[in-house]
Amino acid sequence: MFRCRPRRRFFALPIRSKAAASLTAAGFGEPSSNVIDLRCRFSRAEDVLDYIRRSAVRMVLLLDRQNEPARQRIEGAIVEGAEAHRNADGIELRMPAVVTSAAVE
């Protein structure tokens, strides 16, 4: 059975070599990875913050543990950063995904 080590890097598994090593350690064989260039579009910058809150559990935990002024500054920075990606179609953020698979041995 695969067990996560404490203090594992937050986004370690999207690194191809880390994902392959984890699958191999769990007893799987022939791991392979592909990067999919996903792009998410939002009409409002505030929708990006809502998306983060609804889809990234760890981010919600991190945000909710902040005191109110700090949380507001962080959320404001996310909204401001999202605005920097606005184009004629709205806000477009690249969110590439690594899809890794392996064979059962």
Residue 52 lies in a domain: yes
Considering its fold, how many domains does the chain have in total? 1
Q: List, in sequence order, every residue forming a beta bridge with 97; answer none if it has no partner.
A: 36
The stretch 59-68 carries a mean pLDDT of 90
Residue 11 lies in a domain: no
Residue 8 has pLDDT above 60, yes or no: no
Position with higher pLDDT, 12 vs 71: 71
The stretch 63-77 carries a mean pLDDT of 94
Residue 10 has pLDDT above 50, yes or no: no
Residue 6 lies in a domain: no
The stretch 60-77 carries a mean pLDDT of 93
**H or E element, residue 61:** helix 57-64
pTM: 0.64
Angstrom CA distances, 72 to 29, 75, 84, 86, stand at 46, 5, 19, 22
Count of C-beta atoms within a 10 Å radius of residue 37:
8
Q: What's the domain range around 75?
A: 16-104
The reported pLDDT for the residue numbered 13 is: 52
Residue 2 lies in a domain: no
pLDDT in tens, 21-55: 888 999 999 999 888 888 899 999 999 999 988 88
The reported pLDDT for the residue numbered 4 is: 43
Residue 12 has pLDDT above 70, yes or no: no
Question: Token digits for 75?
Answer: 């959320």
One-letter amino acid of 102:
A
